[in-house]
Amino acid sequence: MLHLSLTWQIMLGLVLLCFSYYLLYKFVVYLKDLFRPFKKNKKYWCRVRSVSDGDTLTCYRFNVRRSETKLRFAHVDAPESKQAYGKESQRLVKSMVQNKIVRVKITDIDRYGRCVGIVYRYRKNINEEIIKRGAAWVYEEYIHDKHHLTYMLQLQNKAKKQKKGLWKSSRPIRPSVYRKQQKS
C-alpha cells in the first residue's frame, strides 16, 4: 500500500474534486441539450403530428421531453384554409409529411413564437416542393439571399407556366392580400 504525505493527499483530493466538477458540468450540459426545445440555426429530427394549413405544421422532437412545436415553412406562403386552394394545399402537405419523420432546420422564430424552418424528407426540400407543385407563393420578403430568391421565383414561375395547383385559377389571391381583405 502506498503512503502519501498530507500535502500529496490534499493535492490528489483537489485534482479529483476538479475532475468530478468537470464531469458534473458536462453531464448538466448534456441534460440541458437533451431537454432543450427547438433553437434557431439548429437541425432536428422530428415526427409531424398534424398539418394546420399549407405552410404550418406541428411536430415533436425525438428527445426525452418530446418537445413539440408549431413550425412554419420558411420562404413559403400558402393559401389560408378558407381561401381558394387552401384545403388542397393543406392536403398536399399532409400527404407529403403527416405522421412521417422529417429533418427540420430552424431558420427563425416568428413574432407569434412559431419556429420557422426548412423541412426535409429523404433529402427532398419540402419547402421547394410545395412551390414546384403550385401549392404556395414564394414569400419574397423573407428571403435575404438573392441567389436563393431567384431560384425560388424560377420554381414558382415554372409552376405558373404549367398551371399547377393554385395557378390553375386565372387570378389567385396572395394570402397576405386575402388576410388584409378579411380584416376589413
CATH of the domain at 125: 2.40.50.90
Q: In the block, which residue shows the cell 504525505?
A: 5
Whether 52 is in a domain gets the answer: yes
Q: Report, as an integer, the average pLDDT of 124-148.
A: 94
As to burial, measured by CB atoms within 10 angstroms (0-12 exposed, 13-18 middle, 19+ buried), residue 1 is exposed
| pLDDT at residue 69 is higher than 90 | no
Catalytic residue among 61, 80, 128, 133: 80
| pLDDT at residue 82 is higher than 90 | no
pLDDT at 65: 65
Per the structure, the count of domains in the chain is 1
Whether 10 is in a domain gets the answer: no
As given in the structure block, the three cell numbers for residue 40 are 434557431
Whether 28 is in a domain gets the answer: no
47 in catalytic set: no
| pLDDT at residue 40 is higher than 90 | no
Whether 154 is in a domain gets the answer: yes
DSSP for 143-162, please give it: ---HHHHHHHHHHHHHHHHT
pLDDT at 37: 65
114 in catalytic set: yes
Catalytic residue among 61, 72, 128, 129: 72
Sign of CA pseudo-dihedral 177, 179, 181, 184: negative
Catalytic residue among 47, 91, 103, 114: 114
Whether 110 is in a domain gets the answer: yes
| pLDDT at residue 35 is higher than 70 | no
Whether 96 is in a domain gets the answer: yes
Domain assignment of residue 119, given as a range: 43-183
Query: Higher pLDDT residue, 61 or 103?
Result: 103
121 in catalytic set: no
Please tell me what DSSP assigns to residue 21: H
pTM of the model: 0.76
Whether 16 is in a domain gets the answer: no
Q: Is 90 helix (H, G, I), strand (E, B) or coil?
A: helix
> What contacts 105, CB < 8 A, 6 or more positions away?
42, 43, 117, 118, 120
Whether 8 is in a domain gets the answer: no
Distance, CA of 16 to CA of 30 (rounded, Å): 21
